[in-house]
Structure 1
Amino acid sequence: FILLGFSEYSDFQVPLFMVFLTIYMVTVVGNRGMIMIIRINPKLHTPMYFFLSHLSFVDFCYSSVVTPKLLENLVVEDRTISFIGCIMQFFFLCIFAVAETYMLAVMAYDRFVAVFNPLLYTVAVSPKHCLFLVAVSYSWSIVSSLTFAYFLLTLSFCETNFINNFVCEHAAIVAVSCSDPYISQEIILVSAAFNEISSLMIILTSYIFIFITIMKMPSTGRRYKTFSTCASHLPTITIFHGTILFLYCVPNSKGSGIMVKVASVFYTVVIPMLNPLIYSLRNKDVKEAVRKLVNTKLPCH
């Protein structure tokens, strides 16, 4: 396959390279830094930060599956990728996309339990339950990805195929297939719809109960503090799920090639960078942990 990427914008190859390189560096530093801070700070050894560390891990892997090849194709003439390489990129991209979908749902459930029934929080979200929820998210993402990859492998392809994207995304791959991709398209449409509906139902139900509980609180200060704890989760959910719904669950959303590329940039490159920034900038505990870490590393004079 040949990944066309942004080759039609020849004058912008270097600026795009610098933009995406900066985004990737921020993504790596932000997500790995978040994992490190959560691991070394005992105060952050709670279910909420346990799930956040896994979200950071997924985001780091997610971006690393896509961005290095994107950067390479912006500076070299040879934009080829092998058939196996393309399928593997798609496979791992699906794993981390589906895992992020359910990780965000698990984090919403965690906030729901913390707000709605704080007395039972340590029981409902025990270490064993946390491990189980994370394991189920990863397991289901692997099963989904194997299913998608299997049906892609049943397709036949002609000699050289030009993929009109910077990533081996499902719609771009089936578009260059010589055989009928109907079954593969239906499988991913149904699966994407199921993953979206099930995860969004968990998220929406959790936040409806959170909102009702917050509105019943007598103290305005406590109401604001509780809401601010949950608020950092909402931008991430909106951007991620909005992009996925646009790409996979809205009929005829793939009509414009540039729109697909922009949407793909959002959910594969930009969102993994935004998550650690959103959670660190809006989270008092994380900012305090970073400040303590910086103070201990700086030499005393």
Structure 2
Amino acid sequence: MTEHYKSGFIAIIGRPNVGKSTFMNRVIGQKIAIMSDKPQTTRNKIQGVLTDKDAQFIFIDTPGIHKPKHRLGDFMVQIAENTLNEVDAVLFMINAKEGYGKGDQYILELLNRVKRPVFLIINKIDLVHPDELLPLIEQYKDKHSFEEIIPISALEGNNVGHMLQVLKKHMPEGPQFYPEDQVTDHPERFIIGELIREKVLQLTKEEIPHSVAVIVENIQERENEKLLVQATIITERSTQKGILIGKQGSMLKNIGRKARADIEALLGSKVYLELWVKVQKDWRNKQSQLYQLGFRNDEY
């Protein structure tokens, strides 16, 4: 470890679908955040840990900020607000293709209350012509005193290395909080649940909205060295349960097949995945069920 080792906690904030999870997976080099083209896919603070010879970055992926519509929404916004005041730096990520939007005003109001350096990260620059970037930078730079404005493409990796160098300069000296081979502080059970939920969102498209959660009930080794993973997909209506199971179980099999490939890559082991679907009416508005499903905010 070098003499002046640096470490810091960095929050990533932005409207839904600006590419926060793609960025996290690019930087960490492993799939730890679920990716979906539906907004609002990240529910808990997913921490990705990046360690190099003289610094450790601990990234916190806040849930996509929006005005809350139900109890789960309140919970997610509360987590994001609390997170911003606990970190060493904030990355405000926007989508270069979408530009300034209504939701950004809400985030900027939040950021104006934050006493931390805020970097504007313009993501998805691979989707726009370079000439379109300057007007975008001009538009945002008057809205907040950003520490720096950095255009990147998380998908292609453009300028991500430069962004990390800039961040490192602003990080405080500090210890290495995590072992260098650890990439997240979430238990495997949580990430497995997220990988299954990702496949549900990808395969059902509009038919299953975000009224779905996954509980990983059991992970155990079997005699043939395969791991047995048993999980339950929770949804709000019996019609959704029908869609998730599909004709002769075809949808559930497909979800299981795709999720199993990612879980095997995560665990480095062959997996036998068993999935069930269960209806719990209106779970997003019931505090006790939210708690049971792991949506806890001890700072409330």
Bin of the TM-score, shorter chain as denominator length: under 0.3
Q: Which has the larger radius of gyration?
A: 1
Structure ranking higher on relative contact order (CA contacts 8 Å, 6+ apart): 1
Q: TM-score of the superposition, structure 2-length normalised?
A: 0.23
Higher strand share: 2
Q: TM-score of the superposition, structure 1-length normalised?
A: 0.23
Higher helix share: 1
